[in-house]
Amino acid sequence: MQFLGGNRRKLRLADDQRNACYPHSLQFYLQPPSGNISLIEFENLAIDRVKLLKAVENLGVSYVKGSEQYQSKLEAELRKLKFSYRENLGDEYEPRRRDHISHFILRLAYCQSEELRRWFIQQEMDLLRFRFSILPKDKIQSFLKDSHLQFEAISDEDKTLREQDIMASSHSLGGVQLELESVYKIPFADALDLFRGRKVYLENGFAYVPLKDIVAIILNEFRTKLSKALALTARSLPAVQSDERLQPLLNHLSHSYTGQDYSTQGNVGKVSLDQIDSLSTKSFPPCMRQLHKALRENHHLRHGGRMQYGLFLKGIGLTLEQALQFWKQEFIRGKMDPDKFDKGYSYNIRHSFGKEGKRTDYTPYSCLKIILTNPPSQGDYHGCPFRHSDPELLRQKLQAYKIPPSGISQILDLVKGTHYHLACQKFFEMTHNVDDCGFSLSHPNQFFFESQRILSGGKDFKKESVQPETPQSKLSVQRSKDASSALASLNSSLEMDLEGLEELLQ
């Protein structure tokens, strides 16, 4: 429209249109973005959102979700990366637009495998939970309406009628006057997590949910919708990937986060057997240090210990030949017959290197796997000392490792709160004399890698940022992967890979 003074009018129209596009600081991402975007912006948005989600993950691991520190740090991160988070902050159009588009771009990268999807959904959910928690009450109803959620707040009369029953059902309403709280009426099947534990009042097929509990339901809805959307996206992916401009970016984004599970290292063969003893006291995490000590003392380890330690050694760079020599030497010291070793044990070692049977190149166990599966019994030395040792025994071990008493009590406190990985991180900080280990621990080989990095001044052991994946390793990665190793890789390789990405895009 070309009118006199039309410039001003045009701007105002655009403003209204812009506000109408993004009426809220948060959204369910129901509609994909439309319009044109430059390749550079496409790439930058993707990188920024990955940084954001990574920060969400780290903060969720380092602080209790919802605590003051968590909330303020997450808000700072969002502000820094210029994504939307809060209402009424002046011109919100740009941050909301960035949020919208970047989410959909990442769907393309993260729909490709089960682990990626799970990670993406988890961080997006945490992000949504945060944004919802700072949404002012009067904005909630309109947000719900715009998101097509069938949640209607019931009238005051309806509330009073059922006051006793609602108060008696909901744990989140401790002594609060019901008049002040909104209560929403939703179909019972939409409130599964609430009604199964009898945490909500049911009447005639509807759940009467107070505001505080609605959040859990909203998050569930979000998770279901996003999960379905990712499945759909995966199906249409081939069409997207055929676009030459997008292919390198999407490949890089997704493959970087599936490759790093410490099964293929750039440092294979860089460790010699005579270094192991000293490495075990300097750079091994306590779980592996304990296994090594037991092996040296008893000249034997049971199966659980052999698996956990053996795969770890493979991860730090031992070759098959070295591994065979290492185990055989030690077992022979225990008066084992060399032939018996060859017959009974060498097969298993070769098997775990992928040279026997179905030839799966097994990946070293992540912390989560060690903590959650195959707990040690009498005579076992595997497992996680922070999880599986008696607190008193753990104290003694830490004293033997020369950890100062203040450090020991901090570690034991973390153990009490079941924050085993944080306890191990604290152990790392104490033994390497650093205030902040600078990474989020989730894998024993990560501990080793980071330790070596510090001890060698950060020069050695630098992983290549774009690793050419051999067909065999890619296959084995997909076969024997578990979610946490993908997470481990996501954590520690992110900085590297972001640099790699940015190089790629220049």
Partner 1 sequence: MEAFDPAELPELLKLYYRRLFPYAQYYRWLNYGGVVKNYFQHREFSFTLKDDIYIRYQSFNNQSDLEKELQKMNPYKIDIGAVYSHRPNQHNTVKLGAFQAQEKELVFDIDMTDYDDVRRCCSSADICSKCWTLMTMAIHIIDRALKEDFGFKHRLWVYSGRRGVHCWVCDESVRKLSSAVRSGIVEYLSVVKGGQDVKKKVHLSEKIHPFVRKSINIIKKYFEDYALVDQDILENKESWDKILALVPETMHDELQQSFQKHHNSLQRWEHLKKAASRCQNNSKNDKCGPWLEWEIMLQYCFPRLDINVSKGINHLLKSPFSVHPKTGRISVPIDLQKVDQFDPFTVPTISSICHELDVISTKEEEKENGAESDIKHRTRDYKKTSLGPFVKVFEQFLENLDKSRKGELLKKSDLQKDF
Please name which of 166, 153, 159, 158 lies closest in space to residue 198, comparing C-alpha atoms. 166
Task: Give whichever of 197 and 357 is closer to partner 1, judged by the CB atom.
Answer: 197
Residues 26-85 that bind partner 1 (CB under 8 A): none
List the x/- string, 199-238, binding to partner 1 by CB under 8 A.
--xxxxxx--------------------------------
Least Cβ distance, residue 491 to partner 1 (angstroms)? 31
Report whether 73 contacts 63 (CB < 8 A). yes
Residue reference for tokens 């060859």? 342
Least Cβ distance, residue 207 to partner 1 (angstroms)? 10
178-186, 191-199, 241-249, 329-337 -> range binding partner 1 (CB under 8 A): 191-199
Q: Which of 13, 176, 192, 232 binds partner 1 (CB under 8 A)?
A: 192
3-class SS of residue 420: helix
Q: Which of 1, 4, 20, 168 binds partner 1 (CB under 8 A)?
A: 168
Q: Which of 104, 132, 188, 401 binds partner 1 (CB under 8 A)?
A: 188
Residues 128-147 that bind partner 1 (CB under 8 A): none
Strand (E) or helix (H) holding 206: strand 206-210
> Does 196 contact partner 1 by CB under 8 A?
yes
Task: Give whichever of 203 and 321 is closer to partner 1, judged by the CB atom.
Answer: 203
7-15, 50-58, 163-171, 339-347 -> range binding partner 1 (CB under 8 A): 163-171
Residue ranges with strand state E in 60-120: none
> Does 386 contact partner 1 by CB under 8 A?
no
Quote the CA–CA distance of 369 and 293 in Å, as a whole number: 22
- How many other CB atoms sit within 10 Å of the CB of residue 361? 18
Report whether 50 contacts 253 (CB < 8 A). yes
Buried b (16+ CB within 10 A) or exposed e, 13-28: eeeeeeeeebebbbbb
Task: Give whichever of 193 and 502 is closer to partner 1, judged by the CB atom.
Answer: 193
> Does 165 contact partner 1 by CB under 8 A?
yes
Please name which of 346, 353, 317, 312 lies closest in space to residue 330, comparing C-alpha atoms. 346
Query: Is residue 21 annotated as involved in ligand binding?
Result: no
> Does 171 contact partner 1 by CB under 8 A?
yes
Least Cβ distance, residue 220 to partner 1 (angstroms)? 11
Pairing of strands 152-153, 183-187: antiparallel
> Does 180 contact partner 1 by CB under 8 A?
no
> Does 15 contact partner 1 by CB under 8 A?
no
Least Cβ distance, residue 166 to partner 1 (angstroms)? 9
Q: For residue 369, how far is the Cα from the chain centroid?
A: 14
Residues touching partner 1: how many (CB under 8 A)?
Answer: 18
Residue 492 neighbours by CB under 8 Å, 6+ apart? 260, 439, 440, 443, 446, 449, 450
8-16, 196-204, 249-257, 435-443 -> range binding partner 1 (CB under 8 A): 196-204
Please name which of 261, 446, 266 lies closest in space to residue 363, comparing C-alpha atoms. 261
Helix 405-416 × helix 420-432 angle, to 10°: 160
> Does 175 contact partner 1 by CB under 8 A?
no
Q: Which of 25, 102, 112, 169 binds partner 1 (CB under 8 A)?
A: 169
Report whether 287 contacts 428 (CB < 8 A). no
The partner residues of 206 in beta bridges, in order of sequence, read 187, 203
Q: Which of 93, 104, 195, 326 binds partner 1 (CB under 8 A)?
A: 195
Query: Is residue 437 annotated as involved in ligand binding?
Result: no
Task: Give whichever of 203 and 342 is closer to partner 1, judged by the CB atom.
Answer: 203
Least Cβ distance, residue 411 to partner 1 (angstroms)? 30
Report whether 431 contacts 403 (CB < 8 A). yes
What is the binding site for partner 1 (CB under 8 A)? 165, 167-169, 171, 188-189, 192, 195-198, 201-206
Query: What residues form the annotated binding site?
Result: 287, 367, 384, 424
